[in-house]
């Protein structure tokens, strides 16, 4: 099995369904590293090892995962659909953030704003290029400029994940402007 496939499986386990690998997450989203490795060995790849897990964590382009200091625990940095507190610190966002999505979602977004759906937070990008790359994963991309500075001044909380993704609970439509890549 290739590393991309295993990385996707790890993302599913650590963000949405730990029980799929027979593991549990603590209240902060941490899983026992050895238990995760054993779970992957049982469910996907009998030859999976700690070295392969290290390689996935080290080479992941989006820096999705973090170890604790002694590498005995691992967690996803954000994107959870299960209730965990990944200990995000509130942060002042830049004046403008970006959100990329597929064209098929634009009518709903322009009416209802950005909502987290099955996730705990709406994910926002620091630049339009990243938002466009995210949008392309959902078909024909649509990019929204988010007036995050104004939102923050009006009381909305923002958090910055360790991998640079900005998170907020929702973005009302009045703070969005559609851009065209």
**Which pLDDT score is estimated for 181?**
54
To the nearest 10°, the Cα dihedral for 66, 67, 73, 75?
Answer: 0
The CATH architecture one would assign to domain 3-76 is: Orthogonal Bundle (1.10)
Q: Which residues of the chain have pLDDT under 50?
A: none
Whole-angstrom CA distances from 164 to 24, 108, 115, 116 are: 26, 26, 20, 18
Neighbouring-strand partners of residue 76: 65
Question: Domain-by-domain residue ranges, the chain?
Answer: 3-76, 97-179
Asked, colleague to colleague, whether 3-76 and 97-179 share their fold, the answer is no
Phi and psi based region of residue 71 (left: phi greater than 0; alpha: psi -120 to 50; beta: remaining): left
**Which pLDDT score is estimated for 163?**
83
Phi and psi based region of residue 101 (left: phi greater than 0; alpha: psi -120 to 50; beta: remaining): beta
**Which pLDDT score is estimated for 86?**
82
Q: Which fold has domain 97-179?
A: ADP-ribosylation fold (3.20.170)
Number of other residues whose CB lies within 10 A of the CB of residue 107 = 9
**Which pLDDT score is estimated for 180?**
65
**Which pLDDT score is estimated for 164?**
86
Cα 55 from Cα 62, distance rounded (Å)? 14
Q: Read off the pTM.
A: 0.73
> How do residues 51-99 score in pLDDT, each as one tens digit?
999 999 999 988 899 999 999 999 999 889 898 888 888 999 999 999 9
Cα 2 from Cα 59, distance rounded (Å)? 14
């Amino acid at each position: 099995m290739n590393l991309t496939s295993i990385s996707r499986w790890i993302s599913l386990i650590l963000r949405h369904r730990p029980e799929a690998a027979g593991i549990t997450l603590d209240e902060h989203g941490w899983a026992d590293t050895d238990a995760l490795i054993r779970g992957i060995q049982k469910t996907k790849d009998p030859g999976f090892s700690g070295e392969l897990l290290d390689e996935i964590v080290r080479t992941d382009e989006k820096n999705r995962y973090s170890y604790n200091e002694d590498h005995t625990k691992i967690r996803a940095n954000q994107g959870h659909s299960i209730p965990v507190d990944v200990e995000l610190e509130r942060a002042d966002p830049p004046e403008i953030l970006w959100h990329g999505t597929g064209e098929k979602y634009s009518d709903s977004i322009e009416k209802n704003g950005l909502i987290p759906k099955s996730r705990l937070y709406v994910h926002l990008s620091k630049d339009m290029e990243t938002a466009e790359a995210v949008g392309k994963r959902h078909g024909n991309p649509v990019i929204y400029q988010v007036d995050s500075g104004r939102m923050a001044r009006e009381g909305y909380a923002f958090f910055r994940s360790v991998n640079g993704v900005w998170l907020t609970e929702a973005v009302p439509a009045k703070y969005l402007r559609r851009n065209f890549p």
